[in-house]
Amino acid sequence: MSTPTNNKRGFWATRMGFILAASGSAIGLGNVWKFPYVTGQNGGGAFVLLYLVCIFAIGLPIMLAEFTLGRRTNLNPVGAFAAIKPGSPWVGIGFMGVSAGFLILSFYAVVGGWTVAYVVKSVTHSVLDFSSPEQAGQFFGQFISHTWEVLIYHAIFMALCVAIVIKGVHGGIERACDIMMPTLFVILLVLMARSLTLPGAMEGVKFYLYPDFSKIQPQTVLIALGQAFFSLSLGMGAMLTYGSYLSPKENLTAATVYVVLFDTLIALLMGMVIFPAVFSMGLAPTEGPSLVFSVLPTVFSSMPMGTLVSIIFFILLTIAALTSAISLLEVVVAYFIDQRGWDRKRAVLTMAGVIYLLGVPSALSFGVLGDVKFMGMTFFDTVDNIASNYLLPLGGMLTAVFVGWIWGTRAAKEEIEKHETRFHWADQWAFLIRFIAPVAVAGVFLARFF
C-alpha cells in the first residue's frame, strides 16, 4: 500500500531536524521544573529508578506507535485514526488529543509566561537579593497574583509560540529547534558543573542517585508512570503529528530511541543541577511546584556570578517550555488545516487567540480568581487535572490498544520497515504495545478514580 501524501503539508528537511523537534516537544517544563520536584517529593533515587522503568517499558513503545501512525497517514490525530478505521468511534482518540492540546497549552503558556518574567527579573536584579527561600517564595507569590503583569507575560509567551508555528514545520519549528536544543544541552552542562562544585553538593547527589526502596509505595509507581507520560509528550497525538511530517525514508525505531534518550538525559541532568544546589543550601527537596521559582533564586543569590547563572537558567527554562508549547499548538493547528481546510495563518492566529483567552482564568487563579474553586481546585488545577490526569493516560492507553489490536502490529511493522529498515525488536515491541502498555496505563488511570 502506498502512503497517502499530501504535498501541501511540508516535511522535515533533515533527519536530525525531526529528532531535535520531537525532543524539543518532549523536553519542557515537565523535565526542567516538574521532574526535580516530583523526584524530591517521592524519595529521590528509588523514584528515579521507577521512572526509568516506565520510560523504557511503556513510554518508548507508545512513542514508536505514535510516530508510525503519523508517518503512515501524514495526518493530524483526528485524520490519522479516521484514515485507518474510517467511520469508527476510534476517531474519538484524535478528538481527545486535540482537546488535550488545547487545554494543556492554555495553562502551559501561563507557566511559560512566568519563565519569561523571571528572565526579565533576573536581568533587572529583582530576583537576586534573597537571603532566604521564604523571602524568594513570597516574592514569587506576589508576582503570580499580579493580574496585569501575569497576563502580559502570558501574552508574550503565546506570541513567541505563534511566531514560530506560523512559519510552518520546516521554516519555523525545525529551524528554531535546530538552534535551541543544542544550546539547551550546553547550558545544562555548565550549570551542572557549577552546582556540583558547591560545598556540600555530594549530599544532594547521594539523595538523587542512591535508591532507598523503603520510600516506594503503590502511589509512587503511579506518579512515576504519569510523569513519564507527560514528559515524553505522549497520549495526545503530539508525537503522531510530528511523525506525520516525516518522509518514508526515516528510520522510526532509531528516532524513537534518540528522542527517549535525549528526554531522559535532560531530566537526569536537571536533577544533577537541582539537588546538589538544594542540599548545599540546606533546603528541603520536598518543596514542591514552587521549587524552581522560589528556591533557585535563593541559590543564585548566594552564588558568585549569580546574575549570570540566573539569566542563563531562566532562558533555558523558557526555551524548553517554548519547544514543547509549539508542539501543543501544532496539534490543534494541524487539525484545522487538514480537517477543516483552513490556511496555516488563520489556524494559528485564531487558535492561539482562543487558547490565550481560555488561559486567562488559569493565569488569574493565583490572584483575583484564587477563591473560585471547582471541587476544591482552582481553575488552573482543574484544567491541568482534566488534561494531564485523564485525557493523556486514556489517550495513550487507547492508542496502544488501537495499534496493538485494531490496526495491528503486523501492519504497523510493515510501515516501520518501509525503505529497507529492519525492525529487529518487532516481537518485543508488539508484546509491550498489546499487553504491557495498555494494562499498566489502565492501572494508573483506574487508580486515579479510586
Task: Catalog residues that contact ligand PHE under the rule CB under 6 A.
Answer: 25-26, 28-31, 104, 230-231, 233, 236, 238, 324, 327-328
Q: Which is nearer to ligand PHE, 29 or 360 (CB)?
A: 29
Q: Are 107 and 34 in contact (CB under 8 A)?
A: no
Q: How far apart are CA 426 and CA 253, in angstroms?
A: 10
CB of 430 to ligand PHE, least distance (A): 25
Q: Which is nearer to ligand PHE, 40 or 367 (CB)?
A: 40
Q: Which is nearer to ligand PHE, 79 or 97 (CB)?
A: 97
The CA-based angle 322-325-327, given to 5 degrees, is 115
- 49: exposed, middle or buried (Cβ count in 10 Å: 0-12, 13-18, 19+): middle
Q: Which is nearer to ligand PHE, 22 or 360 (CB)?
A: 22
CB of 115 to ligand PHE, least distance (A): 11
CB of 101 to ligand PHE, least distance (A): 7
Which residue has cell 519569561?
116
Q: How far apart are CA 46 and CA 213, in angstroms?
A: 6
Name the residue number minimizing CB distance to ligand PHE.
30
CB of 110 to ligand PHE, least distance (A): 13
HSE-up of 7 (CA within 13 Å, CB side)?
Answer: 0
DSSP state of 407: I
CB of 64 to ligand PHE, least distance (A): 16
C-alpha cell at position 44: 529521590
DSSP state of 214: G
Q: Which is nearer to ligand PHE, 122 or 231 (CB)?
A: 231
Give residues with Cβ within 8 angstroms of 1, minimum separation 6: none
Q: Say how far residue 8 (Cα) sits from the centre of its chain.
A: 28
Q: Which is nearer to ligand PHE, 296 or 320 (CB)?
A: 320
Distances (CA, A) of 267 to 31, 55, 88, 107, 254: 5, 12, 38, 21, 20
Q: Which is nearer to ligand PHE, 230 or 279 (CB)?
A: 230
CB of 305 to ligand PHE, least distance (A): 28
Q: Are 122 and 311 in contact (CB under 8 A)?
A: yes
CB of 107 to ligand PHE, least distance (A): 11
